[in-house]
Amino acid sequence: MEPKDPAEFAPWPLPGLCLKVHRCGKWKLFMKQLTYNQCLEEMYALGRFGIKLELSTVKGIVERLGVSEPGFRAIHIAGTNGKGSTAAYCAGLLRKAGFKTGLYTSPHLVKFNERFSIDGEDVSDQDIVEAYLAVKEADTGERKATFFEIATAMAFYLFHREEVQWVVLETGMGGRLDATNIVAPEVAVITNLSLEHTDYLGTTLEEIAWEKGGIIKEETPVITGVDQTSALDVLKNRAEGSFDYTGISSSWSNIRTNLPGRHQMDNAAIALAAVEIAASRSGRQGSWFGLSQRQIQESIWETRWPGRLEYIQDTPMVILDGAHNLEAAKQLGAYMEANLADKRTTLVVGILDDKPYESMLASLVPHAHRIIITRAKIDRSIDPLVLKKAVQTLSTGEILIIQDVAAAVERAVETTPESGVVCIAGSLYVAGEARDRLVNGFSSRN
């Protein structure tokens, strides 16, 4: 006997599924609604070893979702460091030009929703639930999708559903077989290169350049900040002569970025070049999507990217920087030497186990007077006792271990004089946990 109420649900023997009576009285299969937290739990349960570098699975999902031709134009960004801020600059310029703009980045600092931004706003919890359920239902290929493949398919679904006009996509790892590489961009960007993820991408700069250069598409302009000759040669070969970029129509001086660090000028310049080329290929009359020089300069200045040399407070000064690999740690160390040498600095540091922690610590520890070692709430975090042994070879100052990130940051802030500095670094996960507590207050700690 059919339920009288068309909205009434009947039980279904398969987990996560139910039957619902359609208005015409026929049974229709629906995915059972999950909560936001349940969606994230299912995704995170896929585990850290779920990396699969191939494209057929995510391609199949977006095809079954009907978003393989998503209707938006894209800028695709790869590289070792600077991807996120470069992507944020690009998205800001496109928004300033009046386009509905999507931004897909990873990882997030505090909340998963940060990975998906539309016109500068993170998508809602309900958007996440709807996108996840749609992707889960379309994940029917020979191999189940990984965490990052699911997230990427969710981005395509959300940006297609919301009818965005431009999307800026940051690769997760590598490029050639990264899940984002199913896009056909207007412009490809490779910010810079250093040794990273050597288990997957190769053990030399040339091998890594080959993988990152996999985002280069036929007849697609490429912008890069890579300056190592050997790696640049690989990218030039990858691009088959289309790599060299000359003839940008505009020439401006005094473009300023609000994000600290000299490397941000490189990231902003790369973003400007990418958007200028995207504008020239769009068919829209005039350059720069009609933006004036003043609007462009405003957009660069207004761009924010949390967790990268981010100043949280002034007394004491608290600086947050993910510094999650060796090149980023070197950049932060150079910044500390140039700008914080005259201040008593406490370094709060935690590093993941797939990073060259000894070299990273060597770049950071000499610039601090006190070290507090901590550990992010992720199973990839290095045991603080291991980090302490390395720190002891680099510093004669006070060394503390405080396992909980929030407690470590609270101790650092409370015991640092108003004229001093607290610098939190070593992992984006550490930065995310720290930022959450610094912004929301330590009283909210569980």
Give the pair of three-digit tokens for residue 239.
């691009």
Say if residues 437 and 444 touch (Cβ distance below 8 Å). yes
Mind listing the domains of the chain with CATH numbers? 39-302 (3.40.1190.10), 310-444 (3.90.190.20)
Over range 151-169, report the average pLDDT: 95
CA angle 410, 411, 416 (to 5 degrees): 105
pLDDT of residue 2: 41
The predicted-structure confidence for 191-240, as pLDDT tens digits, reads as follows 887 777 666 677 787 778 888 888 888 778 888 888 777 777 777 766 65
Query: Terminal CA-to-CA distance of the chain, rounded, Å?
Result: 49
In this structure, what is the dihedral angle of CA atoms 90, 94, 97, 98, given to the nearest 10 degrees? -150
Over range 367-385, report the average pLDDT: 94
The answer to whether residue 302 scores a pLDDT higher than 90 is no
Banded pLDDT at 390 (limits 50, 70, 90): very high
Tell me the C-alpha distance between 286 and 269, whole Å.
Answer: 20
Say if residues 353 and 381 touch (Cβ distance below 8 Å). yes
Which residues on adjacent β-strands are paired with residue 311?
319
pLDDT of residue 342: 83
The answer to whether residue 361 scores a pLDDT higher than 90 is yes
Q: Which residues contact 7 (CB under 8 A, 6 or more apart)?
A: 20, 21
Dihedrals phi, psi of 46, to nearest 5 degrees: -65, -25
The predicted-structure confidence for 66-122, as pLDDT tens digits, reads as follows 987 778 999 999 888 888 999 999 999 999 999 999 999 998 989 999 999 999 999
pLDDT of residue 346: 96
The sign of the dihedral angle between the CA atoms of 194, 195, 197, 202 is positive
Q: Are strands 116-118 and 121-122 parallel, antiparallel or unpaired?
A: antiparallel
Q: 252-283 in b/e burial notation, b at 16+ Cβ within 10 A?
A: eeeeebebebebbebbbbbbbbbbbbbbbeee
Tell me the C-alpha distance between 149 and 289, whole Å.
Answer: 32
pLDDT of residue 243: 27
The answer to whether residue 16 scores a pLDDT higher than 50 is no
The predicted-structure confidence for 407-430, as pLDDT tens digits, reads as follows 999 999 999 998 899 999 999 999
The answer to whether residue 15 scores a pLDDT higher than 60 is no
Element (H, E) at 443: none
The answer to whether residue 49 scores a pLDDT higher than 70 is no
CA angle 351, 420, 320 (to 5 degrees): 35
Q: Between helices 147-161 and 56-65, what is the axis angle to 10°?
A: 30
Give the pair of three-digit tokens for residue 311.
């100043």
Which is more confidently placed, 3 or 424? 424
Element (H, E) at 98: none
Q: Rounded to whole angstroms, what are the CA distances from 55 to 10, 133, 157?
A: 38, 21, 17
Rg (CA), the chain: 23
CA angle 271, 276, 278 (to 5 degrees): 95
pLDDT of residue 60: 93
In the numeric block, the tokens 């050639």 are attached to 176
The answer to whether residue 19 scores a pLDDT higher than 80 is no
pLDDT of residue 167: 96
The answer to whether residue 56 scores a pLDDT higher than 90 is no
Over range 306-330, report the average pLDDT: 88
Say if residues 153 and 68 touch (Cβ distance below 8 Å). no
pLDDT of residue 350: 97
The answer to whether residue 23 scores a pLDDT higher than 60 is no
